Amino acid sequence: MSANNRLPHGYTNKTRRVGGIVEKEFGGRDATARIRREAECLRRVASMLPVPEVIEINEERRTLRTKWIDGTPGQALMQSGAPRAVLTATGSLLRELQSESVQSIIAPVLEPGGTIAVHGDFGPQNLLLDAHAEVVALFDWEFARMGDAIDDLAWAEWIVRTHHANDIDALDKLFIAYSTRPSWHVRHEAMTAHCQRLLNRCQREGLVDAEQTWRRRLSVTERWQE
């Protein structure tokens, strides 16, 4: 994969642009399952949420191709001084994701294990926004699962606290747009639980460096106070 067209905001997988196509190459032992899950979720919610159009999946090459969408990554907008606009858009989109109509479409294709379908890696890091700070794409559905309503909200907060610590005061906009602010205990518990899930995955996959990273992040998260 050429470094010249590799996109900068892909962490778990290698993602690159090829003309009007984005190609995402999946790694890990469970790559096939994650490709299928992401493609199915994208196809199902395409008429309800802003997501990229699926062009092709290739399980042999472990790649998913989607249509390119113009916009600015949420993280980049956070860093350029627009955290409140980004978090307002994040909270509003999460309300849409948790609406009954969207849930009824996604839940049937996810393994049982919770009360609501969750994106699994929700937050500014997986959003693309236009010049008016409106979301034009929600990416990376590979970890979608059945969970609890708090999970995606808490993870969006974790992203801010971990990668945008100077913007913690802007989190109010996230909760206002989402329409509720659960207690710190509930949010904190969800954040630590998700860190533990990621640590467990790294252990199962034998990802030694990533395991050390998530062990450290879990320890830091456990010590947080609101």
Domain boundaries, the chain: 14-67
pLDDT tens per residue, range 174-190: 999 999 999 999 999 99
Residues forming a β-bridge with 36: none
Cβ contact 144:41 at 8 Å:
yes
| 14 confidence band (pLDDT: 50, 70, 90) | confident
Q: For 98-116, what is the mean pLDDT?
A: 95
Q: How confident is the model at residue 112 (pLDDT cuts 50, 70, 90)?
A: confident
Residue 60 neighbours by CB under 8 Å, 6+ apart: none
Report pLDDT for 8.
Answer: 56
| Alpha-carbon gap, residue 209 to 108, rounded angstroms | 35
Cα atoms in the 13 Å half-sphere on the side-chain side of 76: 12
Q: Is the pTM of this model over 0.85?
A: yes
In this structure, what are the phi and psi dihedrals at residue 58, rounded to the nearest 5 degrees? -130, 100
Q: Which class in CATH covers the domain with range 14-67? A: alpha beta
Lowest mean pLDDT among 2-6, 79-83, 212-216: 2-6
- How far, in Å, are 1, 65, 118, 147, 185 from residue 50 at the CA level? 27, 16, 16, 22, 31
Query: In the chain, what percentage of residues exceed pLDDT 90?
Result: 90
* Helix intervals (H) in 50-182: 74-79, 83-97, 100-106, 150-163, 171-178
The most distant pair of C-alpha atoms in the chain lies apart, rounded to whole Å, by 46
Task: Enter the DSSP assignment of 180.
Answer: -
Q: Whose CA is closest to 86, among 120, 139, 130, 42?
A: 130
* Location of structure tokens 């948790």: 98
